[in-house]
Copies of this chain bind each other. A is one copy, B any other.
Amino acid sequence: MNFLEQHIVNEGIILGDKVLKVDNFLNHQIDIVVMKQLAEEMKCRFAGVEVTKILTIEASGIAIATMLASLYGVPLVFAKKETTINSTDDKYTAESYSFTHQKTNVVSVSKPYLQAGEKVLIVDDFLADGYAMSALTDIVAQAGATVSGIGIAIEKGQQKGGSLLRSKGFHLESIAIIERMDHISNTITFKGQEPQPMRRKIGLCK
């Protein structure tokens, strides 16, 4: 197991065969050491790839994106999920269904912040069915920019997002790929590995 898989086994909680809760270090409380490791690992995996901007989507992708932007020394942009009154710019938009929030969002990036010719590294904490990442790749294309790669902390390999994005030719790197979660036996199986017992279980520990 790599560092992220180890954190998932130690601190994650399986809430169902599709839902993994990692609020202890990634989605609510953020372990800054894990963020640094994630950013360094992603930069390593995209070695030799040109990156002029980091793109993520609010909210929990912003921490990883910030660490990556700091490593690369480039700006980051976070796509927004709703319109605010400060929003006067023309926008690139795409629709994205959120399983976690059980609704369809309009994802947007204001046009001035994504220019033709930019080399964009897209990052996020989770990849499941790929709606959010597809929306971001669509927005990058609308801008006439190029997707340098897609960096994901945790890919749910049993859902379709990863194969969808890879089949479109994107360079996708996921630091942990989950092949199976079983909430009855409370085990998790990472790609190419044996099932691992989770340390925590819902209702037993907080």
Is A145 on the interface with B (CB-CB < 8 A)? no
| Nearest CB in chain B to that of A82: its residue | B101
- Write out the residue numbers on chain B whose beta carbons fall within 8 Å of the beta carbon of A202: 88
Contacts of A111 in B (CB 8 A): 206
Q: Beyond A23-B110, A59-B59, A76-B63, is A86–B32 a contact (Cβ under 8 Å)?
A: no
Q: How far is the CB of A16 from chain B (nearest CB, A)?
A: 9
Q: Does A21 contact B (CB under 8 A)?
A: yes
Q: Say whether A85 contacts B30, CB under 8 Å.
A: no
Copies assembled: 2
Contact, CB under 8 Å: B77 / A30: yes
Interfacial chain B residues near A63, Cβ < 8 Å:
62-63, 65-66, 76
- Say yes or no for A78: interface residue by CB 8 A criterion: yes
**Interface of chain A residues 68 through 118 with chain B (CB within 8 A):** 69-70, 73-78, 80, 82, 84-86, 88-89, 100-102, 109-113
CA distance A15 to B85 in the complex (A): 10
Report if A36 contacts B (CB, 8 A). Answer: yes
Cβ of A164 under 8 Å from chain B: no
Cβ contact within 8 Å between B62 and A32 = no
Pick from B23, B36, B109: contact of A89, CB below 8 A: B23
Known: A32-B70, A66-B67. A15 touches B86 (CB 8 A): yes
A29 on interface, CB distance cutoff 8 Å: yes
